[in-house]
Amino acid sequence: MTVEQTEARPAAKRWLCEMCGFIYDPEEGDPDSGIPPGTPFEDIPDDWMCPICGAEKADFREVEPGEFPEM
Amino acid sequence: MITGYGHFAQLAESLQWDETAIDLTADAEAFPQLDQDEYDQVLGLLAGFCIGETSVATHLTSFNAAASSDDMMAEVFTAQARDEARHARFFDRVVREVCGVPGTNMTERVDALRDRVSPDLVELFEERLPAIAASVAEDHENLTAAVGLYHMILEGVVLTAGQHALLQTLKGLSVKMPGVVKGMELVLRDERWHIGFGSRIIQSADVVDDQMEELLTQGTKAASAWGDLIAQDDIAHVEHLHQRRLKSVGIKFW
């Protein structure tokens, strides 16, 4: 793969827990809950809960491009 | 990772509610019909919330002052203090209007309810929290330790366990208490962002080894502070959530 192709690859989608501000980053996963790094949010089991506040998967929304640029 | 403080300020503004707007009429009619076990369980949990929320509403001001070097963090503490005061007023209204607890003010009603909760719970809110709040007022460098006790232990473990237990109890009663359920759900919604905010502070802090150990051991002990009012399985569950939360903010203890 060329450098140009690597740069063109879209960043993995991150998801925000609207209840507590936790951001799920697919690159990190949630290993303590059995979610290995590299797991897209869509592939997480429906009974997974936010590690900070215990909210359900349905309480997350996709982070918009450019949202939370400090992170 | 957890979002920045600006997100919490926006969230707090969007989640405001009025504790006086909740209709407690059906609850006041239902409460005298509870059997003795239900009565003791509901009033015991409400007593814990009256004591806890009154104390946290009082002592959060010290945290705000300690955060004065970070305007956005200070703003979020102010928003949280507004929530905590509302929670204290809501539970006071419930014990006054629904349960008929005597007293001419909130302090007198808290005094009347204190014997209904374990000494461990009273100690956490009426001795340890005031002590850590005083230490923050004296030295702002103690803010991280104070947030560790307040947000991670008292809110993340003790109050969370009580909130789930009260909701579970209310939904299993022989009569319906919809107003208390509604208020409890709104309190729980607020507490989620409070815990997220505290977790964000801990995540950003340079937490040393003994503080990590303290957070873990305090959480395990605090989960039992409700005594017989909360089932062992629920205590184990909240302990697990506490450990998972600590790991997520970078507190490694394995």
Using an 8 Å CB-CB cutoff, list chain B residues near A17: 196
Nearest to A52 among B8, B11, B245 (CB): B245
pLDDT tens per residue, chain B (254 residues)? 898 899 999 999 999 999 999 999 999 999 999 999 999 999 999 999 999 999 999 998 888 888 888 889 999 999 999 999 999 999 999 999 999 999 999 999 999 999 999 999 999 999 999 999 999 889 888 888 888 888 888 999 999 999 999 999 999 999 999 999 999 999 999 999 999 999 999 888 877 667 777 777 888 788 889 999 999 888 888 888 888 898 888 876 54
Instruction: Write down all domains in chain B, each with its CATH number in brackets.
Output: 6-248 (1.10.620.20)
Of the candidates A20, A23, A30, which has its C-beta nearest B193's C-beta?
A20
C-alpha distance across the termini of chain B, in Å: 20
Quick one: which of B23, B227, B17 has its CA closest to B118? B227
DSSP string, A18-62: TTT-BEE-TTT-BGGGTB-TT--GGGS-TT-B-TTT--BGGGEEE
Using CA atoms, how far residue A60 sits from A25, A43, B50, in Å, is 12, 14, 31
Q: What is the DSSP letter of B149?
A: I
**CA B129 from chain center: how many Å?**
12
* CB-nearest partner of A23 from B3, B197, B245: B3
Radius of gyration, CA atoms only, chain A: 13
Q: Scanning every residue of chain B, which has its alpha carbon at the shortest distance from the alpha carbon of A53?
A: B192
pTM of the model: 0.90
Chain A hits for B193, Cβ within 8 Å: 19-21, 53
